[in-house]
Structure 1
Amino acid sequence: MITRDDVLAAERRISNYIRRTPLFRGGSSSAPLWLKCEFLQHTGVFKARGAFNRQLAALERGELDPAVGVVAASGGNAGLANAYAAAALGVPATVFVPDTAPRVKVERLLKYNATVRQIGTEYIDAYEAAQEYVAQSGALFCHAYDQPEIAAGAGTIAEEILQDEPGIDTIVVAVGGGGLYAGLAASAAGRTKIVAAEPFTIPTLHAALKAGRPVDVAVSGIAADSLGARRVGDIAFSIASKEPPISVLVKDDDIIAARAQLWSEYRIPAEYGAAAAFAALTSGAYRPQEDERVAIIICGANTDPGTLSDAAPEYRAAAS
């Protein structure tokens, strides 16, 4: 369990290492809408916040050996963030990713001088291999989502949103393993509500809330590379159990259409996982009240730019 105090500590710790990303008013809508441009964060994804918080805190406590470095398991984004943070702090990074990780993410990992090891077809395969490496090497393990410092770092996004627009009523976020959701919920508790958007094909938090505990779900669909955790993290579930979010599910076609709309209307190159949050509104899965002030986090842009088009066939099909 984490609290807002943990988020505020993270905010102080990482302020000189991360970008404060813009929050801007969106287009016409039945409700006032803002977009939090976290895709402009270092490495193109919000996870840089948690990576820096985890590694800096470990350095403070003497838990990170600069000669051995850090290790992460990831569908790609958490690996990018931890490799970038490690390079900035002058320590080596080893990143385990599935064989299915997008090429654009693997290439960027190599540019950050990370040692990349590809194994298996899902995040869980990379995770298990990373745990074996940690046991052998003594490297600092940086979880993709289920560590207090990782989640608290992500929660600093809510601090920025509510500093820039204190009247925000609702924050909409895509959920995979739940680290971003957990940090936001810890920060925003008692101040604003959270809408947790997930693909129908990977409903980790939704299934956990229904079952009363984290449970494994099948991993598939268009957003599996970034929202592909098999189960929600314990930190996210503990927070959701205490103060449940509004949990909504979106179809792959709606995610595809939302991503195309973000590019067409705003020139935002969102990856599919990030577009899931926007899809919660565009699909009608979440319908805000007329005067409800809504902020949507566009959390990542590590995508193939060649798939972005104003007239993408999949957008026309999904929107028809």
Structure 2
Amino acid sequence: MVATVIATGMVTRNDVEAAAARTRHVVRHTPLTLVEPGIFPATVMLKLEQLQHAGGYPVRGVFNQVIAGLERRAFDPDAGLVAAYTPAVAAAVVHVARRLDLPVTVFAPASSDGTPGPAANASTTFTVDGTLADAQLEAERHALATGALHCPGLGPECWAQMVAGAGTIGLELWTQTLGQLDTVIVPERATALAAGISAALAGHVRVVEAVSPAELCAVARHDLWHERRIAVDDVAACAYAYLLDTGRPAAGERVAVVLSSADTAPATIPAPVSPPLSALSA
């Protein structure tokens, strides 16, 4: 079990506040729910970001990137947006394009299994004979040729905008808890989320990026659905599972767990492989 403290990097709280102002009318302010007393020796809250548009936090960063691009006239709105297919990013880009009434082109690698779901809602979809890297290259070429905005997710050209957009979750948490917050837990693979919340709340809370064993993540995912009817994917479930081991909160600690994504369906949630988390933590 590992947790990494995240550095704020090149994104500042001012950047996050600008992203919040830019996206306030187009993103959901997702709810915060309290885990019932007795499960943990601390106050543990769940930030239900899996209820965000397109099923997770990346849509915040994509909205920030695209709206900032429109403000700067950095791309041709008639050419719209272009992205290579990756599940979370493609879903976010397609949603943002539809919400802002922009065309969107998705390049899907032939190596993917069938036609990707989010790509089916794109204005135009191309299948690239190759891997995701080949699809990314074609998306870049399309952007250069047409004036479209390339939305690569965590590519270097938009990393800061994705991080600042994700950091708006931190501002929401601070408001929702009235500043009564010590620690924020995010899953390992949500790198932009961890960096963004760190930038938003630097000096106020500890932000950790948690890694949990796969079997414990499966238990957490099952527990969240069967005990709370919260459907999340394996990545998000690992942030909750982390609290059971070395991440177990101290008495009196105020902890928010960000359930970052729901790239899943209830039918895929595994059967229990061990007792519920509530039993393990007793």
Matched residue, 1:64: 75
Pair 1:133 & 2:142 matched: yes
Q: Deviation digits for residues 259-295 of structure 1, max 9, x if unmatched?
A: 111112211110111112112113x141221111100
**1:47 matches 2:9:** no
Given candidates 12, 36, 43, the residue that maps to 1:32 is 43
Question: What are the within-5 Å matches in structure 2 for residues 145-294 of structure 1?
Answer: 145-146=154-155, 147-165=159-177, 166-176=179-189, 178-197=191-210, 249-282=211-244, 284-294=245-255
RMSD of aligned Cα (Å):
2.6
2:263 to 298, 302, 306: 302
Contact 1:70 1:94 in 2 (8 A): yes
Would you say the 8 A contact 2:43–2:254 is kept in 1?
yes
State the identity %. Answer: 36
**For residues 77 and 110 of structure 1, what CA distance do their matches in structure 2 show?**
14
TM-score with structure 2 length normalisation? Answer: 0.84
What is the alpha-carbon distance in structure 2 between the residues aligned to residue 42 and residue 87 of structure 1?
12
Measure, in 2, the Cα distance between the counterparts of 1:68 and 1:3.
31
AA at the equivalent of 1:20 = H
Deviation sequence 1:78-126 (CA, Å, 0-9, x none)? 11111110111111112345567677x92244235463646656x5454
Is 1:80 aligned with 2:99?
no
Higher RCO, Cα 8 Å, sep 6+? 2
Structure 1 counterpart of 2:3:
none
1:194-252 CA distance string (max 9 Å, x none): 0102xxxxxxxxxxxxxxxxxxxxxxxxxxxxxxxxxxxxxxxxxxxxxxxxxxx3221
C-alpha offsets along residues 289-319 of structure 1, whole Å, 9 cap, x if unaligned? 111110000011121332126xx05x34998
**Change in 2 beyond 3 A, CA 1:316/1:65:** same
Indicate the SS of the match to 1:106: coil
3-state secondary structure, aligned to 2:117? helix
CA contact (8 A) 1:73 1:144 kept: no
Whether the 8 Å contact between 1:76 and 1:101 is mirrored in structure 2 is no
How far the C-alpha of 1:140 sits from its partner, in A, is 0.9
Q: Secondary structure at the match of 1:143?
A: coil
Q: Which runs of 5+ in 2 are unaligned?
A: 1-9
Name the counterpart of 2:153. 144
Change over 3 Å in CA distance of 1:119–1:76 after alignment to 2 = farther
Higher Rg of the two aligned structures: 2
Q: Deviations over 1:163-213 (max 9, x none)?
A: 11011100001132621111111101011010102xxxxxxxxxxxxxxxx
* CA pair 128-318 structure 1, distance change in 2 beyond 3 A: farther
Instruction: State yes or no: 1:107 paired with 2:69.
Output: no
Q: How many residues align?
A: 263
